Structure 1
């Protein structure tokens, strides 16, 4: 194999694919990426951790077609340190199991492993195919991913639950995530081709990798789906992943419908006040207390070591006075996702789940469990 490629184009693609490669691997070939130069003017870079695969096509002149594997992180570090504007030549000698990287006066020779050892990627026929815009997918991820659980024992919560359902306004696609302390549910119109999709759990790793890549894309994302795999293609990139093999809990039971105490406030002012007062709260609990009365809201935090903090805010609230406590970080995570100026809190009592809504946007609903303070 022999090809010449612009350093910037190679670096951008390597940054994408090497991110999938785990730093520590018990299987040596999984530390490598597969570089395949085809006849003509393109090369593909592939990485996998056996659950998540990424393939990216890059345009470049190919002098000699072929394929080789190379250590992902080492190759990325080399190209990252080459000067801007450099032209990079990649050549391989499979019989010697090595790949050579040349740029200007720099030459690097890296060990290679046989391409035959590289796992063949799953090419399942995915029965459901539909398209979402990058903006829709980014919004769905941003407004749910903060609530994904990191507790490995409850593996079925380690992702975003995607499914189709019927609402009075028409069919919708829902994204739901929860870690047991907070829940986020977001809806968007059901795209054509997604009718009847199975309820699936998209793993945290593919969610995080996808979100990074979407920052560089503003086109459509083509999604293929079965009950065990998901494939997302956009631009020159294709991500494919196994889905979490588990049953997502009946989240509807967690969303209260009988809460009767409604508080409305300026989202920005409240978030800033919570952030300030939480400076005093202990690192472990991050607790803040909200005391609601007819004249407004008093926000407090206390810590034996750091002292106390108090701040008052004007709010719209007409029910009986009462107090409720929240984890300040969880509260701020939700407030960040409220797009409009007014956040609406619908509460029952100090021990029951609170519903948080964006008054300007009914497509998202958040649930936050209170805490004793």
Structure 2
């Protein structure tokens, strides 16, 4: 049997906090981080709310040479990576560079950087476009920059699967550990709060146009009318258990125990959506019975049809009100590729404290037979958690994380 895959370090850059402790201090009490867009003038757009990371100055965290080379999303990813490696207690030379790698997920790449350089092209000409445009916009840039900055010369990759991609990246990292790598940094990030990114969000047709931050994003609520975008994500250090023990890892947050992924059937086929099968596959992979699960971190799309599908999948596996369900992303908005890794962080921190963070502002619709942890946090012994994520195009992913004694 393969050695367990352990989470030994965490870095977070989210609207609710930069760094694990700030993030958890806000998340555990349900502090709302959704508000009016400030990163550009959104007054002419039908949607004007976002989950932004306020007060972040890349120059305070990164070398000056890196700042003009990178988009905001990469800057957030690099800072989270620094946090994660510090948290894991890994320094250069502890592990051979070729035994360490990085796999991240991205949904949009460096949108803001690309938009800025396109403006220069249109207004000033090709000679004014930054040479860094060649890679700063690219989906794989976060993995590349993290690997360079941390001398990770082992397996490196990027997953593109919208919200589900954040879990797929963790699973791919686990595969690399099972193939012989000792440490893989993995997670996901997105930051597309700019006019170009906003146009892409609006084109999807499921953004909330509500004006009030506390009633704009309401998954599983009868008033659900769409999602609010956010920015950020999380990076986790995953290690093979034997390797972690050999180097004397000082912190183990939990085990990445199971994973499942499916694609939805063709629209109009009449077949069941794939989320339930992804969930059942993850439980089987973890050798975990549904009765052992203490909490489900839901995808929480925030649209009636998708919420209904998710509620039905959870009820089919766990039974009516059979397991506590939460969607703390109501505090941050949907972070695309970064959202599910942030939920995994919340899950392992819930294990650490014995506290399930709330689904803020939501009043559960009677149409959903869920035990939703709404409005306030719930004290509970959390030993096993499931995280669900879905992406545009029919992607479904689920992971099981488990406490380690």
TM-score, L = length of structure 2: 0.20
| Structure number having the greater helix percentage | 2
Higher RCO, Cα 8 Å, sep 6+: 2
Larger radius of gyration: 1
